[in-house]
Amino acid sequence: MRYDPQCYLCPGNTRAGGHTNPHYENVFIFDNDYAALLPESPAPPADASPLLRAERERGRCRVVCFHPDHSLTLPRMKLDDIRRVVDTWSEQYEELSRNPEIRYIQIFENRGAMMGASNPHPHCQIWATEHVPDEPAEETEALKAYQAEHHSCLLCDYVKVESEAKERIVCENEDFLVVVPWWAVWPFETLVLSRRHLGSLRDFSDREKTSLADILKQTTTRYDNLFETSFPYTMGFHQSPVDGEEHPEWHFHAHFYPPLLRSATVRKFMVGFEMLGMPQRDITPESAAERLRSVPAKHFTLK
């Protein structure tokens, strides 16, 4: 169904917040009607206990509709349409980074009801935050520590390791490599790595933007083909903070965290020992990569 009259993201429809969408023809961006972050937020009251600490977090939350066609997902979109989305991500990164109160820009997509997506219309979110969130902050420290010790980039060196080993590679093109990482926790988790040392989307060449569109289409198509379903996942880009400091240690990459394990309906749960102790692998990264690598590159719906 190309258009759903009940969908609050389809062109011309009224959103839950009362705003009416334009009759857009490609990418459409708007500030989230129920944003988790706002440009102005009051400072929390001071707490007497040293055990309890709260800080103000200002920011912006935006929604990016990939395409007016309600029925599409990234793997079923044309490459030119995905490239428009990549251009939008780059433009949003540039625009939001100019705000002196913003220090990090997180672009992410939750796909499928299993991953909490409230609407199947193809879209993602952008959260621009006053502080660097925990995961990219930890990555920043790890990248800095590796650079100080080895005088090289951790992820540049990891690209070399995986390119030589080949057994964990899922797919690749001239500018990007997709692997099931050595440290993967989710069964079919993947990591998208730029071959060139790029700190953020603002460093991409024109060709690399098209290559990113291509590698996202390749990766998501293989996910769908694995169990011949619209494969759920959370995907997000990690890139250089915009905190006013130089970050030569940063290397652009994307994480895909899909929950499925054995079929379109059997998912992985982090429970028991995994929740209380540490995660356990259900399949090795090598076998996961082989399964994703071996499925057809053409989307199963086009058979």
Phi and psi of 256, rounded to 5°?
Answer: -110, 125
Contact 27, 66 (CB under 8 A): yes
Neighbours of 42 (CB within 10 A): 7
Buried b (16+ CB within 10 A) or exposed e, 198-217: bbbbebbeeebbbbbbbbbb
Residue 170's alpha-carbon distances to 16, 137, 147, 266, 293, in angstroms, are 39, 27, 27, 22, 5
The residue annotated as part of the active site, out of 67, 70, 121, 123, is 123
In whole angstroms, what is the distance from residue 36 CA to residue 38 CA? 7
Q: Hey, which bits of the chain come out as E strands?
A: 28-31, 59-65, 104-111, 123-129, 169-172, 176-179, 190-194, 233-238, 253-257
Q: Residue 184 has which token pair?
A: 């993967």
In whole angstroms, what is the distance from residue 74 CA to residue 213 CA? 9
In whole angstroms, what is the distance from residue 239 CA to residue 259 CA? 24
235 bridge partner residues: 109, 256
CA 233 from chain centre, in angstroms, equals 9
Judged on CB neighbours under 10 Å (0-12, 13-18, 19+), 277 is: exposed
In whole angstroms, what is the distance from residue 152 CA to residue 275 CA? 34
Answer yes or no: 123 catalytic.
yes
In whole angstroms, what is the distance from residue 108 CA to residue 134 CA? 15
Residues acting as catalytic residues: 123
